[in-house]
Amino acid sequence: MASASVTTSADALAERFALLKRQGRRALVCYATAGHPDPEASVALLRALDAAGADVIELGVPFSDPLADGPVIQASSQQALGHGVTLDRTLAIAAAAKVRAPLVLFSYLNPVMAAGPQVLQRAARAGIGGVLITDLPVGADPERERWLANGPLAFIRLVAPTTPANRMAEISRHGSGFVYLISRLGVTGAQATLAADLPATVARLRGVTDLPVCVGFGISTGEQARAVGAIADGVVVGSAIVRAAGESVEAAATLVRGLRTALDSA
């Protein structure tokens, strides 16, 4: 794999998971809202997350109506929009950051649609390796799903706790990169405890896919990361990082270093 002379951005994601598998480690997937707390700090934050041990960074595209997000990410999105950060500047921030960790564009469908048919190529040129669309479930819009699946980016799909087993298989077949398993009902945001049925849900999902399984929603502490790392290939931490980034880039980096240590001791 290392011999490939032309590396597409989607390959970067696959190579990262392959490397982690060889090392027997779990992926630490960190989320940041592009342009939060402001565009300059956003670039510094991505570099800090990269240096602190993030394996994959989800870069949130600010949207006016983030219906799947809890208060922390909503507020960060509003703040970024206040700085004029939409999809175009999100790509500029990604390009400026030049991080080693593969970047995944995390967006609602509308800004991606509005950006036009070349947006996936533009994202790839900005160093983005994958795309995840919160409000585009499998089967909702076959034409746009094909466009996303056939583009230069890995197309990451979501599985929910309510998803029946046969649909889990269908979702996995239509995705690439990794499968994002939502750990519990609800919107994004830190929770004190993990869902009790999570191990069973992960096991069901593993039964139908060979893609890496990353678990997100509600994970904020090293202890939770370690618990999830024991059953999944990766752990996604979002709101906790965004909250820390609201204080300072260094606060976010400290949190991520702690998560990294906890996850590697799993």
Partner 1 sequence: MTAAAPAAPLASSDRFGPFGGRYVPETLIPALDALDAAFDDAMRDAAFTAELAELLRTYVGRPSALSTAPRLSAQVGAMVLLKREDLNHTGAHKINNTIGQALLARRMGKARIIAETGAGQHGVATATICARFGLECVVYMGEEDMRRQALNVFRMRLMGATVVPVTSGTRTLKDATTEAIRDWVTNVEGTHYIIGSVVGPAPYPRMVRDFQRVIGDEARAQVLALAGRLPAAVVACVGGGSNAMGIFHAFVNDPDVALVGVEAAGHGLDTGAHSASLARGTPGVLHGSLSMLLQDAAGQVHPAHSVSAGLDYPGVGPEHAWLQESGRATYVSVTDDEALEGVALLSRLEGIVPALETAHAVAWIAKERGRWTSGEPVLLCVSGRGDKDVAQLSQMPRFRDQLGA
Residue 74 binding partner 1, by CB under 8 A: yes
Alpha-carbon gap, residue 189 to 237, rounded angstroms = 9
Whether 223 sits among the annotated catalytic residues: the reply is no
Residue 38 binding partner 1, by CB under 8 A: no
Alpha-carbon gap, residue 234 to 225, rounded angstroms = 9
Sign of the alpha-carbon dihedral angle for 76, 87, 34, 132: positive
As measured in angstroms, the least distance from the Cβ of 5 to partner 1 is 36
Name the one range near partner 1 by CB under 8 A: 6-14, 35-43, 68-76, 202-210: 68-76
Alpha-carbon gap, residue 127 to 129, rounded angstroms = 6
Nearer to partner 1, 157 or 226 (CB): 157
As measured in angstroms, the least distance from the Cβ of 50 to partner 1 is 27
As measured in angstroms, the least distance from the Cβ of 60 to partner 1 is 14
As measured in angstroms, the least distance from the Cβ of 80 to partner 1 is 11
Whether 250 sits among the annotated catalytic residues: the reply is no
CA max distance for the chain: 46
Nearer to partner 1, 53 or 62 (CB): 62
Sign of the alpha-carbon dihedral angle for 232, 238, 241, 244: negative
Nearer to partner 1, 139 or 207 (CB): 139
Alpha-carbon gap, residue 155 to 79, rounded angstroms = 27
What are the beta bridge partners of residue 179? 157, 213
Name the one range near partner 1 by CB under 8 A: 2-10, 42-50, 134-142, 208-216: 134-142
- Residues in 166-185 at the binding interface with partner 1, rule: CB under 8 A: 167, 171, 182, 185
Name the one range near partner 1 by CB under 8 A: 8-16, 39-47, 130-138, 190-198: 130-138
With contact defined as beta carbons under 8 Å apart, do 77 and 32 qualify? no
Catalytic residue among 58, 65, 145, 170: 58
Nearer to partner 1, 41 or 87 (CB): 87
- Record the tokens describing residue 159, joined without a space: 């599985």
Residue 140 binding partner 1, by CB under 8 A: yes
What are the beta bridge partners of residue 215? 181, 235
- Residues in 78-107 at the binding interface with partner 1, rule: CB under 8 A: 78, 81, 86-88
Angle between the N-to-C axes of helices 198-206 and 165-173, in degrees from 0 to 180, rounded to the nearest 10:
50
Angle between the N-to-C axes of helices 249-264 and 239-247, in degrees from 0 to 180, rounded to the nearest 10:
140
Catalytic residue among 55, 69, 145, 233: 69
Radius of gyration of the chain (CA): 17
* Binding site residues, partner 1, CB under 8 A: 63-68, 70, 74, 78, 81, 86-88, 108-115, 134-138, 140-141, 157-164, 167, 171, 182, 185-187
Q: Which residues are catalytic?
A: 58, 69
